[in-house]
Structure 1
């Protein structure tokens, strides 16, 4: 028997068993509610005894309702967890073979989280898994801010020191975030920097002083590596924008958005073409921001990039990470935009902070990548009230598989220059920056 069909049958049986269990629990709760009749106090001579019996019934019914409520909550969590587990199994069994080594993000499971996980990390993991916080800079700032709360609430156990025990306390917090969604390169570099700062703390320093110092170090990292770095990148980027330019950008990069807004504030006359793609449609947020600022914008999808390139003078793109071989790792679709611009001899300018540089070398988008939930690309309806489309039953079609890659790799030959806080450099100088500023 075909193992794929057998697995599908097993999953179908599990769903049927889950539905039967839910119906049985619902019938049991209905029977339990019917067994406790509501009594009203009667008027007349027997009023006192009736009131007494009603009071007695009320006192015994209160713990019963509390128990029923807690049982209902527990059952709801178990059903939700079991349904989520079945869905994850179905999706994992329908992976594209070439990308089967990339695990699909399961999302944050707050119900089964270990007790040592801080509430701020639980909330952050849920926001990461649901893509409520997107972008390398936003994710890094949110993670470091959550770690500040963890450090503030931390207490060093007896018989050890903060510099030795705190990294052990942070490890499960980091693991939980990674399980919610794979860590970005910038987050990894920031966490390594935090661990290094912890290791340099004087063991003679009191816990309160050490925690205050660590929180200041985190604030300094956010200020120097992200906030101030973005301001410097914007100042360098203004040198590349002149009156009459038609600038094309893809999706939404926070530093590119700051650059375009600053250029408009300086009085430079230019137009912007925003290229976007499903399923995140991040470019809509950038479009809304630029239009509200009074910038002339055009919005198009990725399949129209060839047509949109006809009038473009420069391409500005953001970055998720830069590899030491000069390759750009960014949201999927970036490579297509850069290659099309190179074909038209249009300069491709990347805005990237140096904390996103990494020693890793990557030659393609297959070995290392992040795979999103395929269900995100199922809905193809453009109406305000989406209706089930042709892909709504894709899990029940054995010959249909969906792939939702989040990133791609752009080779260095398609990139003109990289604007960083240390200056404008060719992308082949990434290893030099890593060596000199590490």
Structure 2
């Protein structure tokens, strides 16, 4: 056997042998070691064969690739990410996608300095979520959420029965059966545009006339039964805007009783005409004519040189004073006023425009000007069955101070304001207005800012009662359309007016 030495012999590809007897496999290894170098200094990776392309990367390669991506993102975050990352560099993992969304939301504001974002870990918050967010120029910061204890005003336990439902200030959530005129009336009463017992009762009856005129009896139904249900929806909306007055309650009970007496076989047009005519007669007899009779009777008790003290605003008291002035009597009027509505201001202006000598004073100075008074004329929101006067808060103070000075107190009240209820104090029955209205309604003071102060004080509770109760012993006489009578005769007049 002959061995052939290939020293210094050229290979078929033109390369020389190394002279050590290596085979073709070792020559291929040398070719790979002499592979060209890439521009970045790394060796160029040779193109993989088809078999190698089909092979899946090993776990070590995947780990190395993920580590390289994390290092690249960490380097971008340190540089501030001046430019948004390319789509190819975005990770397909859910947590990386969420992190990139947060980066893009912060980069969308040109005024924000680059913030260093940290990866979210279980049980720990990111540093970017704890850093306060800067605002753009002209952008207002959203108000912080109020604690649960400050969203609703605190309630006092001993008057918890007076809170009820919050007062409605819009038509949102109202029933579809409510008439548009009821919407307007409810909002006007809620905003004190229509204020006063007589004004509210008169407006309610006139609006009910429109509701009855627009009413259509459904098929297979009778007018007396369905109209009462239809009016109940209107009444519920008015109650949500503001509690009904005593006169409104009496008028509504009378109207429902009148509707129930209509014969079901009566044609609809004739029944509606009869109801509208009955409402007109009720307004004329129980409000208009009754007010004229009271004004005529009370004005006869005013003499020349009298100093009449009145409180807040009462339409029947204004009519009485105007009637006495037209009779040529010379007297003076002192109008006392107090919060929350300051109604006496309008009353003083109206009397001064007639030509009367009027003095307007706050109730705080009552002890000074009441000493010159000869008579006290008071209006009424209602007269209780035990002879007590239910009227605007502050009335009891005026009446009790006049009684101490032996000044006669005369109450001018229509019989429609009489009720069979009995009250011993101002807590059992009263109207509770929103606390932020205390002292700011109709005064021109910045109501919005004052309301914020009320709501922001967690240790401050506002109590805004609308009425008080005057004892019967402080009332000298009650003048009604039935004549002048003592407070003890109120139940008799109330039964007489109800039967009539």
Match of 2:469 among 400, 409, 415: 409
Structure 1 residue runs of 5 or longer lacking an equivalent are 1-82
Match of 1:426 in 2: 486
Match of 2:497 in 1: 437
Q: CA deviation at 1:308?
A: 1.1
In 2, Cα distance between equivalents of 1:423 and 1:296:
28
Q: What are the superposed Cα offsets for residues 51-89 of structure 1, whole Å, 9 maximum, x if unpaired? A: xxxxxxxxxxxxxxxxxxxxxxxxxxxxxxxx9xx9999
Match of 1:363 among 400, 409, 424: 424
Q: Please, what TM-score do these two structures have when normalized by structure 1? A: 0.77
**Distance change >3 Å, CA 125–CA 90, structure 1 → 2:** farther
Structure 2 residue runs of 5 or longer lacking an equivalent are 1-142
Which aligned pairs between 1:19-418 and structure 2 lie closer than 5 A?
90=150, 92-103=152-163, 105-377=166-438, 379=440, 386=446, 392-418=452-478
Structure with larger RCO (C-alpha < 8 A, sep 6+): 1
Q: CA deviation at 1:251?
A: 0.2
In 1, Cα distance between equivalents of 2:147 and 2:325:
47
In 2, Cα distance between equivalents of 1:373 and 1:387:
12
CA RMSD of superposed structures (Å): 2.3
Q: What are the superposed Cα offsets for residues 400-425 of structure 1, whole Å, 9 maximum, x if unpaired? A: 11111100001100000000000001
- Identify, as 1 or 2, the structure richer in helix: 1
Q: What are the superposed Cα offsets for residues 355-400 of structure 1, whole Å, 9 maximum, x if unpaired? A: 1111100000011110111111265997x67498888523222221
In 2, Cα distance between equivalents of 1:238 and 1:219:
27
Determine if contact 1:378/1:392 at 8 Å carries over to the other structure.
Answer: no
Q: CA deviation at 1:160?
A: 1.7
Q: CA deviation at 1:94?
A: 1.8
**Distance change >3 Å, CA 339–CA 87, structure 1 → 2:** farther
Paired residues, what number?
A: 353
Determine if contact 1:379/1:392 at 8 Å carries over to the other structure.
Answer: no
Determine if contact 1:380/1:389 at 8 Å carries over to the other structure.
Answer: no
Determine if contact 2:436/2:450 at 8 Å carries over to the other structure.
Answer: no
Pick the structure with greater CA Rg: 2
Q: CA deviation at 1:97?
A: 3.4
In 1, Cα distance between equivalents of 2:231 and 2:450:
45
In 2, Cα distance between equivalents of 1:354 and 1:299:
29
Q: Please, what TM-score do these two structures have when normalized by structure 2? A: 0.68
